[in-house]
Amino acid sequence: MIHSNDFGTASALAAVPAFFAEPRLLSTARHGALGVRRSTNLRYAAGLTHAPLGLDEFGQAMRSYPILFTAGPAPRPIAMLGLPGGSNGFVDALGGWRRDHYVPGCLHRYPLAAIEDANSGWQLCADFASGRVVTMSSAVEHGVEPIFEADGAPSRYTRAVIARAQIAARRDEEAVTLARALLEAGILTPCEAPLPVAEATALRQSFLMISEDAFRALSTTLLAEFARLGWLEPIVMAAVSRHNWPALSQLCTRDRAGASARVAA
């Protein structure tokens, strides 16, 4: 539960999404008059080359993006939105997402984020660089959702953000549990993708993928356990999603060429 009189401890900022350019923890005393201007613009995600996924997102994400896992001792599944060192291939110049492609759920709560802190419970922060966090001149302002009620409690808009964040946290925990199990079972291997050498090397260093050979070699006991946990379907989805590499590479190459042409002009 979030307490209405204090929304912040600095430790919560460590878990703020990477695309928050200027995250600040919120409190009713300092930020009681703030609101969020409604917008469907996704320009803030233009530099995002990957986004975290919950298990419930695999089915939609696999239609557009390669699904990989971050490297390291605590892997987690992500959707690749662009190539290493590049930009998001799915956000256009006007801040729109390419039609008919799934928008990862983590992007929908922006510019607010509700973060669960081990010591202080749920904390609320906002990206003050978003251009959408504004001071309200009155309790009701067209196109702006108040962050707090007059009594300091979270507004209806904020409560919805918090509820979605709490659901996402449970889905994220499930995704991280799956990724850890795959790593322990030896199913994850450094990513291989049909890309130029520089991008392919960067991928191998930072991301893991499902090894189909290792998956097929699993014991029947472990396969049965994965089936019991409902993991076989997301594993197959992640493996099949590798077919999205050619389209992603072509999309990013075309966008890069377009950007170079605009600079030259």
| Total Cβ atoms within 10 A of residue 100 | 7
Show the beta-strand stretches assigned E in 131-247: 133-135, 144-146, 188-190, 207-210
- The predicted model scores a pTM of 0.86
Percent of the chain surpassing pLDDT 70: 89
Mean pLDDT of all residues belonging to the chain: 88
- The string of pLDDT tens digits covering residues 111-151 is 999 888 777 678 889 999 999 999 998 767 789 999 999 88
Segments making up each domain of the chain, as ranges? 10-258
For residue 188, is pLDDT > 90? yes
Given pLDDT bands bounded at 50, 70 and 90, which one contains residue 5?
A: very low
User: CA-based angle 116:134:22, to the nearest 5?
Assistant: 50
In angstroms, the Cα distances linking 45 to 19, 107, 111, 122, 203 are 7, 8, 11, 24, 20
- The string of pLDDT tens digits covering residues 34-70 is 999 999 999 999 999 999 999 999 999 999 999 999 9
